[in-house]
């Protein structure tokens, strides 16, 4: 892409916005050298990378690349340098940490098939080297004592020597004999030696080495003879410390040297990753979308917004080109938005081909252009003696030399700056040439001849920028399919030009020009009416959708309330049945405790009460099952014999006939036959009888007896009746041993069942279940032969 075109379309401003969102120095450098790609696969990869980064950015809220110092210059000279400084080594450790964190985050958060995962896979981490540097170096000015055993020994000795010197000097400055010789009772350092400030006139009273004097000469900084030897020892240790630190730094540098190229490559990769996330950040802030790519040179922008116009002022536009026509000629008033529309098309194409999302709505599409050419704005040059027309024509000549079917051409005010007739003729010829080359071309003009030319040529289409005559201002809306009207007479009239002058001006127009303008005016009027009706229809549809959503929300709320009340009623019913059951058992115990009572009559009354209670419990459970069925959708059809629930009546019924043409079904509920709508019934799956298992023995044609009987949850009297019937059936079936499952619980049911077995005539004996048979929860019964 030509640098002039990139600047004309304000691509450099987009790069400036992108650079502000880059986190590290290398990604900011990459932004400076970034250019749109003309390769389809490369553009597709870059857009997918941005999409993956945007997804991760929404998830984590940050780029996986932390800022790190630019250490490339150190890495480049690492082989030649004897050793790196502590600051340089710490900088490299920061780079290693940033690479490690970036790789860990991407490996954890993105899929293995993603482009980001593959990019992160190129990072080579050196955690051991990073940790060793951080272990040895505390900060740029300090090496850790434990960086090496020798350094630890030297610093230990330095502390001892320091303490001895200070102890000796402290005794001197606290001594009354020396205090009168001192300017101040303090210990200081000069030239790396410990000294005390002595008054000049008492030089002879304090023997030692003079290391410095004050600017006035009144104070001498003397190292007393008593500590000179200790000072020499400390100085020697300082030299040893410096040598050991140099050795440690040399060792750390040698450790990193083999990885220098890998670390430098890691920095470049992290720059690329951060650049991708900078694109994602920018896309998010612009409320941008990833456009679809196509190979058909089809451009479609849905409610596109120029990224450099403030969001509260920008007017979205819809534009499409490349399917039914390849050339779009836009007309309209000055400052009406024609040039902005041109720039939106060109700038969006550049952004897409740079892997940056565009501020538009879903459904936007772009091809990948090999070349983008633009001639926009007034480029007259005094130095080169070029007029506006000449400068435009020079650009157009260059475009015609190179433009082909893979080019996007943007021409502003084509043919302007010269005689209107000749300018219009040139413009039509240039547009026809570009159209024949199958270029995608968007051009703006004021010439009526070009409007008519576009209407009569295949592959061309007119478009116009709307102008509000009443308010004398543009609306910046683009209408494709309708050429623009100049509105010069209307604007002049509203600005106060006398009508007589305007009428004379109209008289100078040719008849066909007047008719053409009238046709355009009529088309614009009809389009405006259609647009207003469309907006009203959209508003009505939106209101209808809102009402529908509100109604659906209320319906769901009512359903939830109903289900909650039904669930509460069901629980209440269950609780009442359970309470009644408990009260009845208490009464049974009391009745049987009465001595003078007819036992057989009492048993019949008790059994009848139990049957009634069991029927009530069964009805409650059936209601619950039916309610569960209510949550299903209505059946598409039913067959005679199907069991259904009538939702409106909450009644179980049997289908008598298939649905008729009205969608009604005849069903029978009890003795009543009635027609119901298909949507008001729900299928109920009838439980099928369990198939015989290997644990059951056949008895006759229809009766089967199992090897065990489960009476858990029953009352003692109820269980004994069931056990009695079961033992009769088991005996008749020829079984010799059966299991009665009563559970462990409190032991009351087990005791009651075993007491019953003890006096049963068919029982030979019984025992508690052993391990593997159910233990105390099972009684094994042996039947008589």
The per-residue pLDDT for 635 is 85
The per-residue pLDDT for 699 is 38
The per-residue pLDDT for 746 is 82
Least confident span in 449-458, 707-716, 729-738: 449-458
Report DSSP state, residue 777: G
Contact 585, 713 (CB under 8 A): no
The per-residue pLDDT for 380 is 41
Binning pLDDT at 50, 70 and 90, where does residue 593 land? Answer: low
The per-residue pLDDT for 529 is 65
The per-residue pLDDT for 613 is 65
Judge whether residue 247 has pLDDT over 70. yes
Give CA–CA dist 433/384, Å, rounded.
28
Q: What is the pLDDT of residues 282-330, one digit of tens each?
A: 998 899 999 999 998 899 999 899 998 888 888 888 899 988 889 898 8
Q: What is the pLDDT of residues 747-769, one digit of tens each?
A: 888 888 889 898 888 898 998 88
Over range 401-408, report the average pLDDT: 89
Q: What is the 3-state secondary structure (H, E, C) of 522-570?
A: HHHHHHHHHHHHHHHHHHHHHHHHHHHHHHHHHHHHHHHHHHHHHHHHH
Edge-to-edge strand list for the sheet holding 737-741: 708-710, 737-741, 778-783, 763-768
- Count Cβ neighbours within 10 Å for each residue of 666-700 and write b for 16 or more, e otherwise: bbebeeeeeebebebbbbbeeeeeeeeeeeeeeee
Q: What is the pLDDT of residues 362-400, one digit of tens each?
A: 889 999 999 999 888 755 443 443 456 777 788 888 888
- Kind of pairing, strands 327-331 and 460-468? parallel
Judge whether residue 607 has pLDDT over 80. no
Over range 186-192, report the average pLDDT: 82
Q: What is the pLDDT of residues 205-242, one digit of tens each?
A: 888 888 888 888 888 888 888 788 888 888 888 889 88
Q: Which tokens is 178 given?
A: 């020396």
The per-residue pLDDT for 602 is 64
The per-residue pLDDT for 358 is 93
Over range 479-506, report the average pLDDT: 73
The per-residue pLDDT for 367 is 93
Give CA–CA dist 236/684, Å, rounded.
99
Report DSSP state, residue 364: -
What phi and psi, each to the nearest 5 degrees, are found at residue 367? -90, 180
Contact 317, 448 (CB under 8 A): no
The per-residue pLDDT for 518 is 54
Single out the residue of 188, 185, 218 nearest to residue 203, CA to CA. Answer: 218
Judge whether residue 682 has pLDDT over 50. yes
Q: What is the 3-state secondary structure (H, E, C) of 320-342?
A: EECCCCCEEEEECCCCCCHHHHH
| Widest distance between CA atoms in the chain | 137
Give CA–CA dist 36/354, Å, rounded.
5
The per-residue pLDDT for 696 is 37
Over range 599-611, report the average pLDDT: 65
Question: Which residue in the block uniquely carries the two structure tokens 């295949």?
Answer: 458
Judge whether residue 582 has pLDDT over 80. no
Judge whether residue 609 has pLDDT over 60. yes
Q: What is the pLDDT of residues 501-528, one digit of tens each?
A: 877 776 766 555 545 555 555 555 566 6
Which own/partner pairs from 71-74 qualify as long-range (CB within 8 Å, at least 24 positions apart)? 71/95, 71/263, 71/267, 72/264, 72/267
The per-residue pLDDT for 615 is 66
Q: In terms of residues, how long is the chain?
A: 785
Edge-to-edge strand list for the sheet holding 440-445: 371-375, 407-411, 440-445, 327-331, 460-468, 473-480
What is the residue-averaged pLDDT of the chain? 81
Edge-to-edge strand list for the sheet holding 188-190: 188-190, 193-199, 219-224, 208-213
Judge whether residue 722 has pLDDT over 50. yes
Judge whether residue 450 has pLDDT over 50. yes
Binning pLDDT at 50, 70 and 90, where does residue 355 land? Answer: very high
The H or E element spanning position 85 is none
Q: What is the pLDDT of residues 613-671, one digit of tens each?
A: 666 666 666 555 555 545 567 888 888 888 888 887 677 888 888 888 888 888 887 65
The per-residue pLDDT for 42 is 92
């Amino acid at each position: 892409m030509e640098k002039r075109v990139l600047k004309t379309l304000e691509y450099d401003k987009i790069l400036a916005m992108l650079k502000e969102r880059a986190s590290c120095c290398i990604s900011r450098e990459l932004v400076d050298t970034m250019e749109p790609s003309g390769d389809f696969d490369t553009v597709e990869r870059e857009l997918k990378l941005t999409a993956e980064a945007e997804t991760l950015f929404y998830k984590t809220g940050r780029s996986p690349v932390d800022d790190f110092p630019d250490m490339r210059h150190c890495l480049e000279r690492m082989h030649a340098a004897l050793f790196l400084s502590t600051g340089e080594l710490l900088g490299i450790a920061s780079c290693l940490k940033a690479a490690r964190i970036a790789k860990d985050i991407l490996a954890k958060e993105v899929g293995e098939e993603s482009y980001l995962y593959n990019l992160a896979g190129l990072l080579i981490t050196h955690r051991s080297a990073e940790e060793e540097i951080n272990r040895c170096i505390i900060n740029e000015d300090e090496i850790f004592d434990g960086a090496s055993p020798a350094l630890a020994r030297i610093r230990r000795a330095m502390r001892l020597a320091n303490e001895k010197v200070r102890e000796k000097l402290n005794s001197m400055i606290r001594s009354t004999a020396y205090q009168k010789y001192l300017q101040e009772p303090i210990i200081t350092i000069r030239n790396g030696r410990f000294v005390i400030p002595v008054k000049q006139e008492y030089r002879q009273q304090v023997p030692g080495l003079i290391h410095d004097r004050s600017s006035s000469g009144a104070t001498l900084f003397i190292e007393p003879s008593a500590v000179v030897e200790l000072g020499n020892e400390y100085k020697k240790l300082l030299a040893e410390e410096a040598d050991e630190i140099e050795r440690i730094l040399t060792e750390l540098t040698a450790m990193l040297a083999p990885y220098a190229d890998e670390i430098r490559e890691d920095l470049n990769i992290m720059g690329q990753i951060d650049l991708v996330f900078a694109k994602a950040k920018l896309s998010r802030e612009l409320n941008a979308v990833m456009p679809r790519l196509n190979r058909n040179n089809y451009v479609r922008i849905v409610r596109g917004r120029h990224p450099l116009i403030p969001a509260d002022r920008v007017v979205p536009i819809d534009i499409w080109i490349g399917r039914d026509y390849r050339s779009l000629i836009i007309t309209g008033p000055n400052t009406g938005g024609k040039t902005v529309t041109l720039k939106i098309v060109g700038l969006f194409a550049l952004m897409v081909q740079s892997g940056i999302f565009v501020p538009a709505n879903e459904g936007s599409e772009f091809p990948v252009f090999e070349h983008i050419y633009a001639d926009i704005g007034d480029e007259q040059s005094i130095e080169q003696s070029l007029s506006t027309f000449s400068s435009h024509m020079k650009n157009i000549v260059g475009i015609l030399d190179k433009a082909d079917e893979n080019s996007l051409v943007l021409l502003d005010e084509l043919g302007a700056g010269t005689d209107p007739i000749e300018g219009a003729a040139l413009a039509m010829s240039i547009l026809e040439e570009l159209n024949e080359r199958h270029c995608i071309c968007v051009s703006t003009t004021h010439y009526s001849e070009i409007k008519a030319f576009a209407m009569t040529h295949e592959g061309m289409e007119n478009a116009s920028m709307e102008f509000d005559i009443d308010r004398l201002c543009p609306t910046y809306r683009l209408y494709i399919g309708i050429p623009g009207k100049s509105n010069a007479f209307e604007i002049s009239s509203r600005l106060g030009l006398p009508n007589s002058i305007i009428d004379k001006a109209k008289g100078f127009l040719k008849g066909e020009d007047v008719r053409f303008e009238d046709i355009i005016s009529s088309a614009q009027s009809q389009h405006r009416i259609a647009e207003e009706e469309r907006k009203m229809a959209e508003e009505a549809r939106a209101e209808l959708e809102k009402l529908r959503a509100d109604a659906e929300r209320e319906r769901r709320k009512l359903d939830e309330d109903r289900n909650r009340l039904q669930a509460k009623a069901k629980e209440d019913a269950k609780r009442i049945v359970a309470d009644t059951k408990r009260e009845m058992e208490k009464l049974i115990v009391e009745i049987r405790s009465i001595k003078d009572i007819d036992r057989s009559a009492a048993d019949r009354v008790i059994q009848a009460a139990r049957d009634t209670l069991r029927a009530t419990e069964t009805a409650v459970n059936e209601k619950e099952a039916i309610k569960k069925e209510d949550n299903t959708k209505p059946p598409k059809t039913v067959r005679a014999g199907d069991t259904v629930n009538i939702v409106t009546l909450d009644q179980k019924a049997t289908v008598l006939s298939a649905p008729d043409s009205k969608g009604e079904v005849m069903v029978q509920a009890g003795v009543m036959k009635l027609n119901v709508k298909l949507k008001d019934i729900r299928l109920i799956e009838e439980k099928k009888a369990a198939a015989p298992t290997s644990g059951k023995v056949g008895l006759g044609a229809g009766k089967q007896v199992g090897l065990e009987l489960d009476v858990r949850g029953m009352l003692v009297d109820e269980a004994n009746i069931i056990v009695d019937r079961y033992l009769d059936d088991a005996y008749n079936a020829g079984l010799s041993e059966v299991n009665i499952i009563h559970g462990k619980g409190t032991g009351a049911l087990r005791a009651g069942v075993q007491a019953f077995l003890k006096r049963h005539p068919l029982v030979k004996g019984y025992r508690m279940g052993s391990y593997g048979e159910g233990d105390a929860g099972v009684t094994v019964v042996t039947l008589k032969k």
